[in-house]
Structure 1
Amino acid sequence: MVRWTSSGKEGAGPGPPIMVELLAVKAGLLLFVESGWSSRGRLILENDCANAFDWIKNPGSCTAVLESLVKDIVSIVLDRNVIVWNIQRSANWETDELAKLGIGITPFKVESLVWRVLQCRVPVRSELRKRGVALPDISFPFCLLFPETIQHLFFSCAVSWKVWGTFFAMWGISTAFPSDPIGYAKSFESWLSPSRGFLKFNVNGAMQVDGSKGGIGGILRDQDGNLIMSFSAPIGSGSSVQAEILAIDFAIKLFMDSRWFKAYRLIVESDCAVVVNWLSNPSTILSEWASLLHPIIASLFQEKNLVNHISRRCNSLADQRAKQASGLASAVVEA
């Protein structure tokens, strides 16, 4: 199954909020239908608008003004056998933030570009050459004095500074950039607390280079950053990927057996992008890991829990516990 969580804001155009919520639902359904995922499984659609949910379940109760829109949605839901769930707004915060981008708080393209700059994923000439692209010259074409790096393109070049200066003058801003703007921005990267109604389990797996022994560790915290529970456990021999998967699995099972299970939903964060991507896109899972990952995916969907990727810098506490665990004789859980 594939899960689509939707939220609407007035950026969809003029109209009442309920119409915007319905437009968000319809947009999600159409995106799913047109994607490659529609042929791979059913869709679970979640929305935090109770009225929209009720109208989709009972089209006859819909107001006449929005009847046509609701019928379009219901038609797709029935045709594609979509499962529709109503969830609390506190559990829909990620989609809500994306919806807010649509009303001009921060344009999505700006968010995307900033992220790519900070992650050094802009295809400048120096990066292309590193990836094997044959380029006769990697000089920045605006000045022809230095290689075209992300740092030079956006911050160091005199031509770039003229562009920045024009906008700063227009906005009435006086500023100075640090010598390493990208590194400076990354220094503010930190662990983010979960929303109300959630607990967050940061996990990590560690394996010795020769694969002879490894460990897993995790830290469970609440919305105020308070430590709820932690664990360290040895896992024996294997691979680093296996360690990351086992860390996630252990954390979910530990949470489900705890007294907090019925009161909260869970966010699991791992710094292993490969495993997080597999859990988010099951069709990409390699066959050798399917038996380990499919039960995890089932528990995530069943309990409406989430799994996110986090940078290694923000996952240091879980990393420490994982590295300590390889020397333990048995698992240690502190609550």
Structure 2
Amino acid sequence: MFGKLHIKEELSKRGVAGIEDLLCPMCGKGEESISHLFLHCEVVWVLWSRFFRGWNVSFVVPNKVIDFLILWDELIPRSTIWKFIPRAVLWSVWKCRNEIIFQKGKVDSALLFFLARFRTVSWFEASFKDINIPFDSLVGDLKLADSIGRQNHRSVATSRWVPPPEGFIKLNVDGAMVKGWDKGGIGGLIRDDRGLKLGTFSEKIGGGPPILAELLAIKRGLSLIEELRSFPTQRIILESDSTTALKWIKNPDVCIPLFQSLVRGVATYVEGKGIISRHIVRAANWEVDELAKAGIG
């Protein structure tokens, strides 16, 4: 399987022309081989080590990837979600490597760790559909999947705010309009991975449809992050309970003409900063909902 990957070392062995730089695109130090890219690259090894620390595992890494994968399941034999981690890490590393080579991307260790956990949980939940632990909770702590019996998972609360992963901050926003749409309010809250509040706003806005309030809340929240300038190295997760607003921001072309200018401005900022935007149910977004309603006055 791994022999079919277009790793620089493999391409060079096959005599493919144009392979001049054999260095690993992730770390820029060792020659890019299968074992180096997926195991021994210092960037990737830090990624593996973060998973090991989460389970308090000490492990001497073998030279070959196939040996590593064979030994993996034996490290935590009673964990189900543990078995999903290698495929998520390998795929995330491969995607990151290709983005660096073909799209001139850069290594973002915090984002790489987040994506590996995100994919681990996504694939885990696809295989175990009766698991009802909040998705964000699992991304933040994979061990939750093994902490309680599967028959009890249904009793876990699914409508609560969950702190972001390490290295991230969360911006939660909401907009509210009074009946008749003649006035409204917006609210937002920025918190870190410990749940500590870093910034908040609650403001009155003019009239208009509810979607306008949601968009203005998102724009104000992003402006607040710029104003605070307290977390330059942390990645941002934007959460809103408006599926329409998030859909427009991810694809401004589907936005109605009335809000095109506003949406494109927000979308450009979100893309430029690499912000992850996510939908959150209203019940888990209740704090900013209260801030938005308080802003109406």
| SS state at 1:51 partner | coil
Match of 1:214 in 2: 184
Q: Match for 1:288 among 242, 258, 268?
A: 258
Query: Cα 1:108–1:316, aligned 2, differ >3 Å: closer, same or farther?
Result: closer
Residue identity opposite 1:95 in structure 2: L
CA distance in 2, matches of 1:88, 1:14: 24
Query: Cα 1:190–1:289, aligned 2, differ >3 Å: closer, same or farther?
Result: same
- Ranges in structure 1 where 5+ consecutive residues have no aligned partner: 1-12, 23-49, 67-72, 119-173, 328-335
Match of 1:110 in 2: 127
Residue identity opposite 1:100 in structure 2: T
- Residue 324 of structure 1, CA deviation: 0.4
Does the aligned pair in 1 maintain the 2:172–2:190 contact within 8 Å? yes
Whether 2:248 is the aligned partner of 1:278: answer yes
CA distance in 2, matches of 1:298, 1:233: 24
Q: Deviation digits for residues 229-278 of structure 1, max 9, x if unmatched?
A: 11001111011100000000000011012131424222111011111122
Does the aligned pair in 2 maintain the 1:93–1:195 contact within 8 Å? no
CA distance in 2, matches of 1:100, 1:320: 34
Query: Cα 1:176–1:193, aligned 2, differ >3 Å: closer, same or farther?
Result: closer
Does the aligned pair in 2 maintain the 1:101–1:107 contact within 8 Å? yes
Query: Cα 1:14–1:63, aligned 2, differ >3 Å: closer, same or farther?
Result: closer
Query: Cα 1:98–1:223, aligned 2, differ >3 Å: closer, same or farther?
Result: closer
- What number of residue pairs does the alignment pair up? 211
Match of 1:234 in 2: 204
- Ranges in structure 2 where 5+ consecutive residues have no aligned partner: 9-22, 37-94, 135-148
| SS state at 2:211 partner | helix
- Residue 54 of structure 1, CA deviation: 6.3
Q: Deviation digits for residues 19-56 of structure 1, max 9, x if unmatched?
A: 6999xxxxxxxxxxxxxxxxxxxxxxxxxxx934468x
Does the aligned pair in 2 maintain the 1:217–1:319 contact within 8 Å? yes
Residue identity opposite 2:290 in structure 1: Q
CA distance in 2, matches of 1:110, 1:215: 42
Residue identity opposite 2:127 in structure 1: V
Q: Deviation digits for residues 262-311 of structure 1, max 9, x if unmatched?
A: 24222111011111122223332222221111111111121222211111
Please identify the structure whose Cα radius of gyration is greater. 1
CA distance in 1, matches of 2:278, 2:106: 22
- Residue 318 of structure 1, CA deviation: 0.3
Bigger helix fraction:
2
- Residue 98 of structure 1, CA deviation: 4.2
Whether 2:296 is the aligned partner of 1:326: answer yes
| SS state at 1:292 partner | helix
Q: Give the RMSD, CA atoms, in angstroms.
A: 4.2
Does the aligned pair in 2 maintain the 1:53–1:84 contact within 8 Å? no
- Residue 89 of structure 1, CA deviation: 2.5
Question: What does 1:58-97 align with in structure 2 at a 5 Å threshold?
Answer: 62-63=32-33, 83-97=103-117
Query: Cα 1:52–1:271, aligned 2, differ >3 Å: closer, same or farther?
Result: same
TM-score of the superposed pair, with normalisation by structure 1: 0.52
